[in-house]
Amino acid sequence: MSKQPEENASSSSKESKFKAFFKDVITPRKPPCQEELNSDMRNVMLVGAALIATVTFQAGITPPGGVWQSDDILGHRAGHAVYSDQKIPFQIFLICNTIALTSSIFILLCLTFRYPYFLEVLIASISMMGTYSSGIYCITPYESVSFRLIFVAAPAPAIIRFVIWVVASAFRHRRKSVSWFKKFQYDKKRDSPSEARNVLLVVVALIAAVTFQAGVNPPGGVWQDGDHAGRAIYASQKRAYYVFLLSNTLALSACILVITSLTYKFPLHFEIWVATASMMITYASAVFAVTPHESVHFRYLLLAASVPFVIRLLSYLFKKYCRSEKESQIGSQADGEKKDQKDGQAGQQV
């Protein structure tokens, strides 16, 4: 008789442990956003988001199954994805891949918000998404996928997070707690320069790697024979190919600017500058090799590559001007106070 209560107690304890485990999986007792933030949490999220962004971007540019190498009598077009013959699976692939990429990009932007060089990171991220969209447009037959579904799926992570933020703000207003987004923002008092540098380097290194690869091996592949052998198949669609090259070049150039700026005056920084300059020359040479000369005006690519540097230079000059104006105002106020003191002393003597 004594064994039955013990068995009931053990079964109830197992059930309670299972419920506690299930609850911890769904809603952790101590989520990172409610604990004191440290660099390890941010680094873990950055590595995960960077990994997902890398593989999903590459999967969208070079789809599974490859692309058709030439036109045929069955209606297949060179450069289109072979996988697109299976319309529903291909549509699921593109939608899920796009959601994964936009989610990871959203995380990267949230984790680098208000950091130094955030403007360059934002430009590179938006340009990277433009490259991805152009790549999908290249490999996808018009009749296979409804592009409006992809455009609806792309902002879904940001919209969902915004809704969660609005709902959480109502409860947080009652409890007077700090939002998770503010805890992950850059704080000069909390985040050291080395931590900020590491965060930015992870993001820009990811974007630089995938955009460089996309420029060297354009989506849709290249012609294998004929007069256009070695030229990008995508170049036959001039406007779309222009968008691809401009956005890809802008993203890569912004990342190169951040990398060279963050490593300035570091040991071996000269070698890093030489490597990045050679990397840009390699990229330009590859684009020149795969692009028909009548399809693209290369001076526009040079202008796109210089945009991040021009923006950073103008920003620096504007800040320097504002700083000098502020110092001159402070100096004039100090001179005025000294003059008033002298006038007051002279009046007292009289």
d(CA 131, CA 79): 16
d(CA 223, CA 227): 9
Q: What's the Rg (C-alpha) of the chain?
A: 28
107 within 8 A of 45, measured Cβ to Cβ: yes
In terms of phi and psi (left: phi > 0; alpha: psi -120 to 50; beta: otherwise), the region of 242 is alpha
Work out the angle between the directed axes of helices 118-139 and 87-111 (0-180°, nearest 10): 170
d(CA 295, CA 297): 7
CA distances from 5 to 15, 16, 19 (A): 15, 16, 21
pLDDT of 62: 87
Burial 178-195 (b: 16+ CB within 10 A, else e): eebeebbbbeeeebeeeb
List, in order, residues 6 or more apart from 76 with CB less than 8 Å away.
Answer: 68
Domain membership flag for residue 87: yes
CA dihedral for 148, 154, 158, 160, sign (positive or negative) = positive
Beta bridge partners of 67: 81
Q: Which residue has the tokens 């609850």?
A: 23
Alpha helices for the chain (secondary structure H): 3-26, 39-61, 87-111, 118-139, 147-153, 156-175, 180-184, 193-216, 238-262, 269-290, 298-349
> 283: closest CA among 348, 171, 208?
208
pLDDT of 189: 64
Domain membership flag for residue 119: yes
Domain membership flag for residue 46: yes
Q: Could you tell me the residue range of the domain that residue 152 belongs to? A: 38-296
Domain membership flag for residue 125: yes
DSSP string, 192-244: -HHHHHHHHHHHHHHHHHHHHHHHHS-TT-B--SSTTTTSBGGGGSHHHHHHH
pLDDT of 233: 84
The number of angstroms, rounded, from the C-alpha of 51 to the middle of its chain's C-alpha atoms is 12
Domain membership flag for residue 325: no
d(CA 319, CA 223): 49
pLDDT of 55: 92
146 within 8 A of 80, measured Cβ to Cβ: no
Q: What does pLDDT average to in each consecutive run of 10 residues of the chain (350 residues)? A: 56 66 51 52 83 91 83 74 84 90 90 85 91 87 73 83 75 56 61 78 90 90 77 84 90 92 85 91 91 78 90 88 80 66 60
The number of angstroms, rounded, from the C-alpha of 145 to the middle of its chain's C-alpha atoms is 25
pLDDT of 32: 44
CA dihedral for 182, 186, 187, 190, sign (positive or negative) = positive
How many structural domains comprise the chain?
A: 1
Show the tokens assigned to 333.
């106020």
Q: Quote the pTM value.
A: 0.74
d(CA 141, CA 138): 8
Domain membership flag for residue 19: no
Instruction: Tell me how many degrees the CA angle 144-98-257 measures, rounded to the nearest 5.
Output: 125
pLDDT of 87: 83
pLDDT of 250: 94
